[in-house]
Amino acid sequence: MVVILLKMLLLRLNTSLVNLLNLDQTQLAEYFVGLGEKPFRAKQLMRWMHQRGMHDFTQMTDIAKSLREKLATEAEISLPFVQSEQISNDGTRKWLIGTDTANSIETVFIPEDDRGTLCISSQVGCALACTFCSTGRQGFNRNLSAAEIIGQLAIANQSLRQEAGYDMLPVGERIISNVVMMGMGEPLTNYDNVVTAMQIMLDDSAYGLSRRRVTLSTSGIVPAMDRLKEDCPVALAVSLHAPNDELRDVLVPINKKYPIKELMMACNRYLEKAPRDFVTFEYVMLDGVNDTVEHAHQLLEVIKNVPCKLNLIPFNPFPNSGYETSKLSHIRVFRDILMQAGYVVTVRKTRGEDIDAACGQLAGKVLDKTKRALKKIPIEAVA
């Protein structure tokens, strides 16, 4: 661990080198033009970095030796460091990834029969302070760079492919078929870096994922949702969690700035260019807080004009949360009310709970600049 931290510190001190993982193909082409090179070099380098996982310029054999030597003096391809890896009894994997000497993030891979989904973090901690979320309770330190975001996909992809055996994988087969921006942080408050990273995920010279297989989850940053619709429309999930403003103001405090009515209008605007013809509303099930029959009917009223699917998420406990998971019987009644109204409703299966990798449990290590960990959370306000 000491050796890893020393390596990380040395890399951070070497600020004169440009980390090329921070650049999508358009930005990389501009970088090469600035070096007096042809823009097509960007596509070559993207394939080496992202498809082959090669970070040593000297091994990039279809790039001119003179350019490789120039890159070696002016640039780097630097991933964050893996501090630990855990594997759940159900096959879920969690990586603790160091971003600097004081902070770390968590990334989770969820294998299923028909897909492999990677849950990626966008920030060290989170500033939005959703009361039922372990990450939110830790406070906020900083945004992740594009390299640190796409680096999570690179690390997981390399680890999983090596374990499976490159030679044993059919040509074109993906272990990671889906990416969800649902890890630590609110992606839309780290807009530029998140969009750059997603552009790399979508690039055929990099990971080649379709827009339908990249999902961004937001608590409802309305102006950024409108920007995303124009810049990089991927599948959209909205962390709703409450059927009225009074309750959502407590559970998801950003609602005070962008209330539910405004959020629903933004969802409809987003669907004008979205790769899917619906928004997924995520709704954590909290016992006695938001899971009653009345709440279900209020929710139907809220979403009635938005094409959507609903994902009910049984609350995953963490220490001193102040909440309890809804009873299974209450979740079923809640689900049935929504389904009888004609909606597609899923109840998320809890995965990786034994390694704290389930939804809402990601914590990492956050040197909290907001001092939120020292503040008392008024849980009684929602009782």
As a whole number of angstroms, the distance between CA 237 and CA 117 comes to: 15
Assess whether 230 carries a catalytic annotation.
no
Whether the predicted pLDDT of 2 surpasses 50: no
Tokens of residue 196, six digits? 């750059």
Gap between the Cα atoms of 207 and 153, Å rounded:
9
The answer to whether residue 359 is catalytic is: yes
Dig out the tokens for 157 from the structure.
């992809």
The one catalytic residue in 126, 133, 232, 359 is 359
Q: Mean pLDDT for the chain?
A: 88
Kind and range of the H or E run holding 82: strand 81-87
Q: What is the reported pLDDT for 372?
A: 55
Q: Is the pLDDT of residue 102 over 90?
A: no
| Angle of the 191-202 helix axis to the 222-231 helix axis, nearest 10 | 30
Strand-pairing partners, residue 363, are none
For the chain, domains (ranges, CATH) are 18-76 (1.10.150.530), 81-373 (3.20.20.70)
pLDDT tens, position by position, 241-255: 999 999 999 999 999
Number of H helices, E strands in the chain: 12, 14
The predicted pLDDT at position 319 comes to 80
Q: Identify residue 180 by its one-letter amino acid code.
A: V
DSSP H or E stretch at residue 178? strand 178-181
Q: What is the pLDDT of residue 9?
A: 43
Residue from 37, 106, 148, 282 carrying the catalytic annotation? 106
pLDDT of residue 173: 65
pLDDT digits (tens, 9 = 90+) for 323-375: 999 999 999 999 999 999 999 999 987 765 665 655 545 555 666 666 655 44
**Which pLDDT band holds residue 95 (cuts at 50, 70, 90)?**
very high
31 in Cβ contact with 154 (< 8 Å): no
**CB 271, CB 277: distance < 8 Å:** yes
Say yes or no to pLDDT of 377 above 50.
Answer: no
CA distances in angstroms from 105 to 151, 181, 263, 288, listed in the order given = 12, 13, 28, 32
Query: Do residues 189 and 219 touch, judged by C-beta distance below 8 A?
Result: no
Mean pLDDT of 122-140: 88
Residue 190 confidence class, pLDDT cut points 50, 70, 90 = very high
Task: Return the exposure string of 11-43: e unless at least 16 CB atoms fall within 10 Å of the residue's CB, then b.
Answer: beeeeeeebbbbbbbeebbebbeeeebeeebbe
pLDDT for 320? 81
**276, 212 contact by CB (below 8 A):** yes
Q: Give tens-digit pLDDT for 155-187.
A: 999 999 888 776 555 545 679 999 999 999 999
pLDDT for the residue numbered 12: 46
Radius of gyration of the chain (CA): 21
- Rounded Cα gap, residues 97 and 193, in angstroms: 18
Judge whether residue 381 has pLDDT over 90: no
Cα separation, 28 vs 15, whole angstroms: 18
